[in-house]
């Protein structure tokens, strides 16, 4: 799956997910961006919105869209800056910022699972109807990962 960059959204969208990633000590520097870029370049996901929240030691909050980040981290975000759309509401962002501990930053990522578009199109053509959809909680996945890692030792 290489070179499948999707320049513009399809009239059929894949499932849309969000992630909130916390960085204690405000240590966010953009190291995850190359992998995120690879996922998008290979047609696996499409980044829809990306917001950064910084909370200082006194609890003061700074909220910025990825396209407004400067410095080294801003350079890493530049590939996404032109393509992101503001889907996350101010209320969504403030709610996330409200639960962050002081001296912490968070990245909020909203993305479309573009890998699923052909499958969704096939389901539509077949007359299928979605009955339910969900995700296994990260805590449950982490327990499985830990159990698998313990078996490898």
DSSP-derived secondary structure for the chain:
--S---SS--SS---EEEEEEEEETT---STTHHHHHHHHHTTS-EEEEEEEEEE-TT--EEEEEGGG--HHHHHHHHHHHTT----S-HHHHHHHHHHSPSSEEEEEEEEE-GGGHHHHHHHHHHT----------HHHHHHHHHHHHHHH-
Task: Tell me the per-residue pLDDT of 19-32, one tens digit each, with 9 for 90 and over.
Answer: 999 998 888 777 78
State pTM to two decimals.
Answer: 0.79
pLDDT tens-digit series, residues 35-66: 988 999 999 999 998 888 999 999 999 898 77
């Amino acid at each position: 799956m290489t070179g499948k960059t999707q320049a513009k959204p399809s009239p059929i969208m894949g499932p849309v997910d969000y992630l909130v990633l916390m960085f204690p000590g405000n240590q966010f520097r953009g190291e995850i961006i190359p992998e995120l870029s690879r996922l998008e370049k290979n047609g696996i996901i499409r980044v829809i919105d990306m917001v950064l929240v910084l909370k200082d030691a006194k609890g003061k909050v700074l909220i910025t869209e990825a396209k407004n980040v400067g410095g080294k981290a801003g350079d890493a975000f530049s590939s996404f800056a032109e393509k992101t759309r503001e889907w996350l509401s101010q209320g969504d962002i403030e709610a996330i910022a409200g639960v962050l501990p002081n001296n912490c930053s968070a990245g909020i990522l909203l993305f479309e699972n573009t890998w699923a578009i052909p499958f969704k199109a096939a389901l539509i053509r077949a007359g299928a109807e979605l009955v339910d959809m969900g995700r296994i909680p990260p805590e449950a996945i982490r327990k499985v990962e830990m159990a698998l890692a313990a078996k490898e030792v």
